[in-house]
């Protein structure tokens, strides 16, 4: 999906009404979450504007902040059913020395832990780039209802040097049906 034109978004942005919401830090979230995610209190995005992502500059901001902080240039934010932004996150895989520190994964984990099922289903993740396979799996498990990405994986690859992807790791199996099924059998009813 391509981001909408800047002029249209600017006009929409001018019509938005900010909605107040207490910051996450005041609602007792664990410390790590406050340090890893940046809660927003009043990003003005209306529910009747779902077709358009939050206007510039808020949408690309987490990605720019990630890059400015010495990390890969990717970031994401959530927009809840009330139009506010409960959390945003940037990639911190370098500064954290953590290969899974992708913003989409952080927000998917946050949503699964902090949002009730109905709220999660009506929450959209806006992300600067199409989620990778790891993050897609987490998003599917999180209960979030929608993802909008600015840059496709294909477009991202045009901005990278040739051959800079990750190597395929061979996966072999199934290997031990009789033994491996024992702990699983009967678990899913």
Instruction: Report in angstroms how near the CB of residue 105 gets to Zn ion at its nearest.
Output: 6
Contact 126, 151 (CB under 8 A): no
CA distances, 10 to each of 45, 83, 96 (Å): 12, 17, 35
Give me the catalytic one of 2, 88, 104, 114.
Answer: 104
Instruction: Report in angstroms how near the CB of residue 132 gets to Zn ion at its nearest.
Output: 3
- The nearer residue to Zn ion, 52 or 136, going by C-beta atoms, is 136
- Asked whether position 138 contacts Zn ion by CB under 5 A, the answer is no
- Asked whether position 125 contacts Zn ion by CB under 5 A, the answer is no
- The nearer residue to Zn ion, 31 or 160, going by C-beta atoms, is 160
178 tagged catalytic: no
- Asked whether position 102 contacts Zn ion by CB under 5 A, the answer is yes
Q: Which stretch binds Zn ion (CB under 5 A): 29-37, 101-109, 116-124, 168-176?
A: 101-109
- Asked whether position 108 contacts Zn ion by CB under 5 A, the answer is no
- Asked whether position 132 contacts Zn ion by CB under 5 A, the answer is yes
CA 89 to chain centroid, in Å, comes to 7
- The nearer residue to Zn ion, 115 or 129, going by C-beta atoms, is 129
- Asked whether position 135 contacts Zn ion by CB under 5 A, the answer is yes
Instruction: Report in angstroms how near the CB of residue 84 gets to Zn ion at its nearest.
Output: 24
User: Which active-site residues does the annotation give?
Assistant: 104
Q: Which residues bind Zn ion (CB under 5 A)?
A: 102, 132, 134-135
């Amino acid at each position: 999906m391509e981001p909408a034109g800047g002029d249209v978004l600017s006009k929409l942005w001018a019509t938005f009404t900010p909605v107040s919401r207490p910051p996450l830090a005041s609602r007792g979230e664990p410390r790590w979450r406050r340090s890893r995610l940046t809660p927003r209190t009043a990003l003005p995005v209306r529910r009747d504007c779902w077709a358009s992502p939050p206007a510039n500059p808020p949408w690309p901001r987490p990605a720019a902040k990630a890059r400015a902080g010495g990390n890969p240039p990717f970031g994401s934010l959530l927009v809840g059913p009330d139009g506010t932004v409960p959390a945003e996150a940037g990639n911190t895989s370098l500064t954290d020395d953590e290969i899974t520190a992708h913003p989409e994964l952080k927000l998917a984990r946050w949503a699964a832990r902090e949002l009730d099922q109905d709220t999660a289903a009506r929450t959209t993740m806006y992300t600067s780039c199409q989620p990778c396979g790891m993050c897609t799996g987490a998003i599917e498990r999180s209960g979030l209802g929608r993802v909008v990405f600015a840059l496709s994986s294909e477009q991202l690859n045009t901005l990278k040097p040739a051959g800079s992807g990750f190597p395929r790791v061979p996966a072999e199996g199934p290997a031990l049906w009789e033994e491996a099924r024992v702990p699983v059998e009967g678990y899913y009813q």
